[in-house]
Amino acid sequence: MVVGPVEVVVDPALTIQLLAWLLAGAALGTLSGLVPGLHANNFALLLAGFAPSVPGPPLFVGCAMLSAGVVHTFLNAVPAMALGVPDAEMAVTSLPGHRMVLEGRGYEAIRLSALGSVLAVLAAVPLAVPVTQAVTAIYPTLMANLPLVLAMVVVALVASERTWRGRGAGLLSFALAAGLGALTLDLSPDAPLEAGGTLAPLFAGLFGAPVLIDAIFGSGIPPQDDDAIALSRPLLGATAVAGALAGAVVGYIPGISAAIAAVAVLVLVPGGAGDRGYIVATSGVDTANTIFALFALVAIGQPRTGVMVAFESTDAPLELPILVAGVVVAGLIGFVLVIVLGDAYLEFVGRTTYWKISAAVLALLLALSFLFTGVLGIAIFVVAAAIGMVPVRLRARRVHLMGVLIGPLILGV
Looking from the CA of 270 toward its CB, the CA atoms found within 13 Å total 12
What are the phi and psi torsion angles at 48 (to 5°)? Answer: -60, -30
Q: According to DSSP H, which parts of 204-273 are helical?
A: 209-216, 233-252, 258-268
CA dist., res. 377 & res. 380, Å (int)? 5
360 three-state secondary structure: helix
What pLDDT, on the 0 to 100 scale, is given for residue 171? 95
> pLDDT tens digit string along 12-33?
777 888 899 999 989 989 988 8
State CA 174 to chain mean position distance: 20
270 three-state secondary structure: coil
Query: What is the 8-class DSSP label of residue 22?
Result: H
Asked if 229 contacts 280 with a C-beta cutoff of 8 angstroms, the reply is no
86 three-state secondary structure: coil
Burial class (CB in 10 A: 0-12, 13-18, 19+), 162: exposed
Q: According to DSSP H, which parts of 253-353 are helical?
A: 258-268, 274-300, 306-312, 320-351
Asked if 66 contacts 331 with a C-beta cutoff of 8 angstroms, the reply is no
State CA 104 to chain mean position distance: 24
What pLDDT, on the 0 to 100 scale, is given for residue 3? 41
Asked if 319 contacts 1 with a C-beta cutoff of 8 angstroms, the reply is yes
Per-residue b or e along 317-350, where b marks 16 or more CB atoms closer than 10 Å to that residue's CB: ebbeebbbbbbbbbbebbbebbbebbbebbbebb
What pLDDT, on the 0 to 100 scale, is given for residue 178? 94
Asked if 303 contacts 65 with a C-beta cutoff of 8 angstroms, the reply is no
Q: According to DSSP H, which parts of 253-273 are helical?
A: 258-268
Asked if 69 contacts 44 with a C-beta cutoff of 8 angstroms, the reply is yes
Residues of the chain with pLDDT under 70: 1-11, 37, 39-42, 44-45, 48-51, 85-95, 194-196, 218-219, 253-264, 266-273, 413
CA dist., res. 154 & res. 408, Å (int)? 13
- The DSSP secondary structure of 171-208, one letter per residue, reads HHHHHHHHHHHHHHTT-----SS-S--SHHHHHIIIII
